[in-house]
């Protein structure tokens, strides 16, 4: 499956037979005409489990670009609720985390995997109730995630398959660098890491060096007209 093939067909029908039919059904229910450029360019690599740095301006559809492969890969791994956390998505703000959570809930409509929003400002007791049930996809802000990761009775990520650093430029702007470094130390190394950002500056590159495998694939639509 290459970029041309993805772009050439309308709707997400080119993913037929390539992703789980229940996931495709939810994706098609969103009624988008076709994938955006960043979705088309990054999906093939992400479905293969590669680490990538994805750069595309705000509003270009980066959320679906990572959520679709994240969910598809967990299904392929045979993940069920009892396997616990398979993916952590880090977002810079509660609002962005909430938006991502809403999209992931839609994608999981027909799939027996769980997702939860774990962000600052909520009661920790509420988080703990959710986490004790086992959450497959956690969408979180760094401070709150770290709080829970430091207490392994509540959250272990032993089965983690994927980490997403979303809006990486903003994650760093918001001063989360230290939290993220600590989080990386607590997560298993054997995982896929996906970094998406509107811009790639030297700080984002340094974060990528720390979090991603060496020589990640770089996908950008920022130079396109």
Closer residue to ligand ADP in complex, CB, 17/59 = 59
**Residue 56 binding result from Mg ion, ligand ADP, none, given CB thresholds of 5 to 8 Å by partner type:** ligand ADP
**How many helices and strands (H and E) does the chain possess?**
10, 7
Q: Does the footprint of Mg ion cover residue 144 (CB under 5 A)?
A: no
**Residue 155 binding result from ligand ADP, Mg ion, none, given CB thresholds of 5 to 8 Å by partner type:** none
Question: Mind giving me the DSSP string for 111-143?
Answer: SS--EEEE-TTS-HHHHHHHHHT--SEEEE-HH
Residues 6+ apart with CB under 8 A from 198: 55, 56, 57, 58, 167, 169, 170
Which window, 36-44, 62-70, 84-92, 169-177, contacts Mg ion (CB under 5 A)? Answer: 62-70
**Residue 200 binding result from Mg ion, ligand ADP, none, given CB thresholds of 5 to 8 Å by partner type:** none
Cβ burial 159-192 (10 Å sphere, 16+ → b, else e): bbbbbbbbbbbbbbebebbebbeebeeebeeebb
**Residue 59 binding result from Mg ion, ligand ADP, none, given CB thresholds of 5 to 8 Å by partner type:** ligand ADP
Q: Does the footprint of Mg ion cover residue 194 (CB under 5 A)?
A: no
Q: Write down the residue that tokens 């059904």 correspond to.
A: 25
Q: Does the footprint of Mg ion cover residue 62 (CB under 5 A)?
A: yes
Least Å from the CB of residue 166 to Mg ion: 6
Nearest residue to Mg ion, by Cβ distance, number only: 62
Closer residue to ligand ADP in complex, CB, 61/143 = 61
Least Å from the CB of residue 167 to Mg ion: 5
* Interface residues toward ligand ADP, by CB under 6 A: 32, 35-36, 39, 56, 58-64
19 phi, psi to nearest 5 deg: -130, 165
Least Å from the CB of residue 183 to ligand ADP: 21
Least Å from the CB of residue 99 to ligand ADP: 6
Least Å from the CB of residue 194 to ligand ADP: 12
Q: Does the footprint of Mg ion cover residue 148 (CB under 5 A)?
A: no
CA distance 123 to 115: 18
Q: Which residues bind Mg ion (CB under 5 A)?
A: 62
């Amino acid at each position: 499956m290459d970029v041309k093939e993805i772009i050439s067909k309308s709707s997400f029908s080119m993913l037929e037979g390539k992703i789980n039919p229940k996931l495709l059904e939810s994706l098609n229910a969103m009624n988008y005409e076709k994938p955006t450029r960043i979705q088309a360019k990054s999906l093939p690599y992400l479905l293969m489990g590669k680490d990538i740095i994805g750069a595309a301006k705000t509003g270009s559809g980066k959320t679906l670009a990572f959520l679709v492969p994240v969910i598809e890969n967990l299904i392929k791994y045979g993940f069920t609720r009892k396997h616990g956390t398979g993916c952590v998505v880090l977002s810079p703000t509660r609002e962005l985390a909430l938006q991502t959570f809403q999209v992931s809930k839609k994608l999981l409509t027909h799939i027996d995997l769980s997702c939860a929003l774990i962000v600052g400002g909520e009661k920790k007791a509420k988080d703990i109730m959710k986490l004790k049930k086992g959450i497959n996809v956690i969408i979180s802000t760094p401070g709150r995630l770290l709080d829970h990761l430091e207490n392994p009775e509540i959250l272990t990520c032993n089965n983690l398959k994927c980490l997403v650093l979303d809006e990486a430029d903003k994650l760093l702007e918001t001063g989360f660098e230290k939290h993220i470094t600590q989080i990386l130390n607590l997560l298993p190394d054997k995982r896929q890491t996906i970094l998406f950002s509107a811009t790639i500056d030297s700080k984002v590159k340094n974060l990528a060096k720390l979090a991603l495998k060496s020589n990640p694939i770089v996908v950008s639509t920022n130079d396109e007209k």
